[in-house]
Amino acid sequence: MTKESWFSYTNLSRSTFKKRFSKEPQQINNKTSLNRQWDLFEKTLIELKEDIIPQKTINSNTSSNIDLLLELRQMNNHVILLYQNTYYEGWIKYLPRLKVLLDFNKLLITLPSTVTPHNFVSTKDEIYRLYHTMKTAYKSTYDKHLSDKISSYVIEHNDNLQHDQTKMINSILNRKPRHIVLDRLSFIDNKGDYAFTNNPEIIEKEAIKHFQHQAGPPNTKDITNLDSLPQDWKDHYDPTLQNIKEKW
């Protein structure tokens, strides 16, 4: 960069910054305003640099720079070689596991004992081949497993439809059956006194009796004639109302 270009850069910078940054520092009183000013400053700086400061493409591969001394190029080549050896030295740690996967999938792939820049691409292709083979095998096994599970559920639902409809309904509604466990019970015995028991047989007997009579006592009345019928049924069976044919 020459003196003239630097002078041009400083003048343009002053005028540009003066034009774009008109706010006083005390006007920037929150984080949002500060971030906005910083973004504008960064953008302006990059634009000035690209407009005035000369740029030159630099080759990062110094080993191909013929302007370097032979000794420096040789030293650089040694550095690159050391880096490559260090980069590939972890291969020996993963090789045994890869061989196990190859044997499991019955693939005729031979992997080298060491990886070098010369066999790197071919080795990578073989690993990709192993990866895609395992991915395909996994998808096939998973699809078969899913199909078997669906078939077993269909068979189970059909079986429950005939033999265990409660289980089928619980399964369709995704509802877990709930149970009440009675391990002790307070009840009224035959003498009319309150009693307490933890006998499973008595508990089962009293529970059945309770639910059988929950809607009311059992109707033990014998029906012998029309007058002994409940009022709700008399209209249906009263012959005077002509609801019953004579031949009946």
Specify the higher pLDDT residue, 8 or 64: 8
Express each pLDDT in 149-167 by its tens digit.
Answer: 899 888 888 888 888 888 8
Answer yes or no: is pLDDT of 81 > 70. Answer: no
- Report the mean per-residue pLDDT for the chain: 77
Closest C-alpha among 211, 234, 207 to residue 223: 234
Same domain, 198 and 147: no
Same domain, 131 and 208: no
In a domain, 144, yes or no: yes
Give me the mean pLDDT over the 16-42 stretch.
77
Express each pLDDT in 87-101 by its tens digit.
Answer: 666 788 888 888 888
Are residues 63 and 73 in contact, defined by beta-carbon separation less than 8 angstroms? yes
Q: How many whole angstroms from its chain centre is CA 247?
A: 74
Express each pLDDT in 182-218 by its tens digit.
Answer: 888 888 888 888 888 999 898 888 888 888 777 566 5
In a domain, 229, yes or no: no
Same domain, 163 and 192: no
Answer yes or no: is pLDDT of 78 > 60. Answer: no
Distances from the Cα of 83 to the Cαs of 22, 74, 78, 229, in angstroms? 52, 14, 9, 106
In a domain, 117, yes or no: yes
Same domain, 98 and 171: yes
Domain of residue 42, residue span: 3-52
Answer yes or no: is pLDDT of 63 > 50. Answer: no
Same domain, 93 and 171: yes
In a domain, 115, yes or no: yes
Same domain, 40 and 98: no
In a domain, 59, yes or no: no
Same domain, 16 and 47: yes
In a domain, 167, yes or no: yes
Same domain, 168 and 187: no
Answer yes or no: is pLDDT of 58 > 70. Answer: no
Give me the mean pLDDT over the 120-133 stretch.
86
The pLDDT of residue 69 is 59
Instruction: Choose the final residue of a domain: 176, 199, 233.
Output: 176
Q: Give the number of domains in the chain.
A: 3
Same domain, 109 and 152: yes
In a domain, 75, yes or no: no
Same domain, 170 and 113: yes
Are residues 166 and 177 in contact, defined by beta-carbon separation less than 8 angstroms? yes
Percent of the chain scored above 70 by pLDDT? 76
Answer yes or no: is pLDDT of 66 > 70. Answer: no
The dihedral built from the CA positions of residue 77, 83, 87 and 90, taken in this order, carries a sign that is positive
Same domain, 97 and 155: yes
In a domain, 225, yes or no: no
Q: How confident is the model at residue 246 (pLDDT cuts 50, 70, 90)?
A: low
Same domain, 150 and 162: yes
Q: Please report, as a single letter, which amino acid is at residue 160.
A: N
